[in-house]
């Protein structure tokens, strides 16, 4: 079968058109993928720039916070050095003693405590803290303070080990002046107390 020239020309043009279409579709896919990748790169660069900017902004704040933490640690270390007998575990007890003293109208003049330890009795574990408490006031108010300590629910099973009362000398009235109201006979009370609390309470 003889194919004439016109048929060959038409066939060649058709092939060229198909090749062109295929190449155009491949190029279009390439351009689309390239644009998507470029958009992703741009977005990543923008995010990186934003993060870098935020980092530069936050770094001074972080430095300030770290300095504040260091200052607080230094202050705590200084306070702990000034009150070596009071451990962190006993601070809450100190507040309770102060409250009981205020309710009894006496003043806490000294308070020391040992670090808490544990004591196991059978299946029960106790947290044990020893205290030495010194308060000042009238004898009646001091007796009220002792009573409040013994019944305090917050202190748990508090055991008063020793109790010492020291009366202060009564001031002598100055001759030649009008008589003043009788002075209050203040007394200093020193208690050593062991507090037992259930572990986990």
| Best mean pLDDT range from 61-70, 80-89, 140-149 | 140-149
Residues 105 and 144 reside in one and the same domain: yes
Residue 102 lies in a domain: yes
- Percent above pLDDT 70 for the chain: 68
The predicted-structure confidence for 85-122, as pLDDT tens digits, reads as follows 444 456 778 888 899 999 999 999 988 887 777 888 88
128-182, pLDDT tens digit by residue?
A: 888 889 999 988 999 999 889 888 887 777 788 888 888 877 666 666 555 555 5
Establish if 140 belongs to a structural domain.
Answer: yes
Tokens matching residue 160:
């008063």
> What number of other Cβ atoms are within 10 A of residue 48's Cβ?
10
Distance separating alpha carbons of residues 88 and 92, to the nearest angstrom: 8
The token pair at 56 is 């530069």
Residue 177 within a domain: no
CA distance 125 to 139: 37
Distance CA 110, CA 134 (A): 5
Q: How many whole angstroms separate alpha carbon 49 and alpha carbon 189? A: 68
The C-alpha torsion from 26 through 29 and 31 to 36, rounded to 10°, is -160
d(CA 158, CA 155): 6
- Residue carrying structure tokens 């575990």: 89
**Residue-wise pLDDT tens digits, 27-57:** 777 777 887 887 777 777 777 666 666 667 7
Do the Cβ atoms of 152 and 158 come closer than 8 Å? Answer: yes
Q: 56 is in which domain, residue-wise?
A: 1-82
Q: Does one domain contain both 166 and 99? A: yes
Does 95 map to a domain? yes
Kindly report the pTM of this predicted structure.
0.49
Dihedral sign for Cα atoms in the order 26, 30, 32, 33: positive
């Amino acid at each position: 079968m003889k194919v004439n020239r016109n048929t060959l020309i038409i066939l060649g043009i058709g092939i060229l058109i198909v090749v062109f279409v295929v190449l155009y579709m491949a190029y279009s896919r390439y351009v689309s993928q390239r644009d998507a990748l470029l958009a992703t790169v741009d977005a990543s660069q923008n995010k990186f720039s934003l993060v870098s900017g935020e980092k530069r902004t936050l770094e001074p704040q972080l430095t300030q916070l770290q300095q504040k933490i260091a200052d607080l640690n230094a202050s705590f270390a200084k306070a702990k050095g000034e009150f070596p007998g009071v451990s962190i575990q006993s601070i809450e007890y100190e507040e309770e003693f102060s409250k009981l003293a205020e309710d009894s109208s006496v003043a806490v003049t000294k308070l020391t405590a040992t670090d808490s330890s544990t004591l196991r009795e059978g299946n029960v574990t106790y947290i044990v803290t020893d205290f030495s408490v010194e308060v000042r006031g009238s004898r009646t108010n001091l007796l009220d303070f002792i009573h409040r300590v013994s019944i305090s629910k917050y202190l748990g099973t508090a055991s008063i080990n020793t109790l010492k009362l020291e009366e202060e000398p009564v001031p002598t009235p100055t001759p030649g002046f009008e008589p003043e109201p009788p002075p209050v006979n203040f007394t200093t009370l020193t208690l050593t107390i062991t507090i037992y609390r259930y572990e986990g309470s």
